[in-house]
Amino acid sequence: MQPPAATGNSSSVGSLDGGLRRHMFAPLEARTLELERLLLDIDASIRCTYDVGLEYEDNMLDTSDGIARKGDEAFDTDQIDGGSRASASGRYAAWTPVGLPRQNLVLCVGRICNEAHSGRLNSCSILLEGSFKHSFGSRIKLDLGGILDDHCNHHDGTFGSGYSLFPGQIVAVEGNNPLGSAMRDSRIIEGIHLQCKSSHECNISTADDRSFSVWAACGPYTTSTDLEYDPLLDLIERVVSDKPQVVILCGPFVDARQSLVIGENGVGPSIEDNEGDVGRCGGKRVITAENVFRLKVSSLLAEMYELNPDSGTQFVLVPSLDDAFIDAVYPQAPFVCSGDGRNGKFCDLGLQEVETSGLVDIRTKKSQTRVHLPSNPCTLRIKDVMVGVTSTDILFHLASEGCNGGIPLGSRLARLAGHLVGQGSYYPLFPAPTGMPLDMTKSKEWEIPCMLDVLIVPSRLEPFARVAAYGNGSAGTTLVVNPGVLTKFSTGGTYSRINIQGAKKEIHGVKGNNILDRISAVIMHI
């Protein structure tokens, strides 16, 4: 597994500063510019991906820079990025700024907004907001009746597949807007499909033909009644027995919400005092959250390697906004900043002992890092497979803030997962719900940099492993896995096992190199 920093996420996020309230002091102008940049980028990508042309007019048309003459003159290409020619395919209507009244079928690109400004989005409160550059920030109400009509046949012969929308989602909407006050939609093009580097584009001659296994689990790793970390111990015992190549552990590792971590009167966690009277608190000694991690997590991993020095398992520890010893702001820095090495801010986590444990007894030369410390979110390359991970419960947030209608029965979870891939973002929801510390000025750090083969998104929703579904109802090429949580209050929870067959090569070509043809995932109980 290559270091996560190679993707760009870890190195840049790891240098963030400003502390716990960084997101609260981001200037309004900076946040606005980021939202505009994102909208313009996806606008251009949608029109390029789907070959959407510009509007041709028979009459004079007012624009922000003057008047575009009738005839064969389109919008000024300096005004509108990435769309200097009309679509020859005829599959989609011509691109038009949001809010301009038109009698013919048009296609507008904008951001979904909630007219009510608060509460959950519903079918009566959906607005489409255009960019400031192209539409002066105009908003128009969306009438989704055309999409819900089962008999709605598009002019390219396709039928509607319902809708699934949420605030902040950037979409292209095709429909009629005769008065300029409301747009009756017949089709929604949901975001873009990333076409960057993926496993099937790797050099097959260098790809590893052997199968490998990736496990994923999410905290809490101990029950709500103690700090013994028994569920994590059970998981490590299975790791020793079954020997997966990679184990991805998402936080919280020391849950800031747990009463024992908060401690009596908020003084912090405590343990039985066997070291005299220094720091005594009712027969117990108060310790830091970092020490809890060192004593319960790092020591467990170190013991595993001490007893199994030749173990080839690598661990990936992804922080969480609920971890008690790291800044709770998204995007989130890794546990160890890339420039600080093992003597950095979190040197007391004890992870250096994990790297050296058992080396005196090792029979082969140690050539790989045992513990990787990426940011939240992060993108990893494991052999020939691209894996995206975020420990933030974005699926639950989307389910709570968004609305849907007319989607096929049983496709809700796959559709929610498809939003992340379709929007090219680990956190596409805006505005974020109360309690979600989102730093909009760092929005580039939660963009998905390339097409993912596997996306791991722990959530309180039902654990699942499904192929992401796009807005048009088609299946994507990304397997989305929600491993659930390892501990549910006082009982064990779930984790996931992902088994990936190696890419096979034939004399006359490549066989079985499609990731979905050689991958399987199961949800396991602990």
Q: What is the pLDDT of residue 364?
A: 56
Q: b/e map of 135-159 (b: 16 or more CB within 10 Å)?
A: bebbbbebbbebbeeeebeeeeeee
Please give the average per-residue pLDDT across 227-254, as a whole number.
97
| Amino acid present at 359 | L
Lowest mean pLDDT among 154-158, 351-355, 361-365: 154-158
Confidence of residue 194 (pLDDT cuts 50, 70, 90): low
b/e map of 269-278 (b: 16 or more CB within 10 Å)? bbeebeeeee
Q: Let me know if 22 is exposed, middle or buried by CB neighbors in 10 A (0-12, 13-18, 19+).
A: middle
Domain ranges for the chain, please list them: 4-16+195-255+292-525, 28-190
pLDDT for 174 beyond 50: yes
d(CA 307, CA 422) in angstroms, rounded, equals 45
pLDDT bin (cut points 50, 70, 90) of residue 1 is low
- Residue 392's pLDDT band (cuts 50, 70, 90): very high
> How far apart are the C-alpha atoms of 410 and 243, rounded to whole Å?
34
Is the domain defined by 28-190 classed in CATH 2.120.10.30? no
On whether the 4-16+195-255+292-525 domain is CATH 3.40.50.300, my answer is no
Residue 371 has a pLDDT of 93
Residue with tokens 């109802």: 473
Task: Give per-residue pLDDT as tens, 256-295.
Answer: 999 999 987 777 787 665 544 444 555 577 888 999 999 9
Residue 158 in this model has a pLDDT that exceeds 90: no
63 within 8 A of 476, measured Cβ to Cβ? no
pLDDT (0 to 100) of residue 472: 58
pLDDT of residue 361: 64
Q: What digits encode the pLDDT tens for the residues 105-134?
A: 999 999 999 998 888 999 999 999 999 999
Please report the pLDDT score of residue 125 as a whole number.
95
Whether residue 432 contacts residue 317, with contact meaning beta carbons closer than 8 Å, is answered with: no
What is the C-alpha to C-alpha distance for residues 427 and 340, in angstroms, rounded to an integer?
A: 28
| pTM: predicted TM-score of the whole model, two decimal places | 0.83
pLDDT reading at 206 higher than 50: no
What is the maximum alpha-carbon separation in the chain?
A: 90
Q: Average of pLDDT values for 154-177?
A: 78
pLDDT of residue 135: 93
Higher pLDDT, 253 or 89: 253
In this prediction, residue 200 carries a pLDDT of 42
Instruction: Work out the average pLDDT over 45-65.
Output: 58
> What is the pLDDT averaged over residues 482-486?
98
- What Cα–Cα distance (Å) separates residue 423 from each residue in 42, 86, 361? 8, 24, 49
Mean pLDDT, residues 395-411 taken together: 90
How sure is the predictor about 346, in pLDDT bands with cuts at 50, 70 and 90? Answer: very low
* 12-40 tens-digit pLDDT: 333 334 444 555 556 888 888 999 999 99
Q: Is the pLDDT of residue 152 over 60?
A: no
CA distance 425 to 55: 29
Specify the higher pLDDT residue, 95 or 198. Answer: 95
pLDDT of 145 strictly over 90: no
* Residues 87-96 pLDDT 10s: 334 567 888 9
Q: What is the mean pLDDT of residues 452-458?
A: 96
Q: Is the confidence at residue 471, as pLDDT, over 50? A: yes
Mean pLDDT, the chain, rounded, equals 79
Region 241-261: mean pLDDT is 96
Compute the distance between CA of residue 173 and CA of residue 50 in angstroms, rounded to an integer. Answer: 13
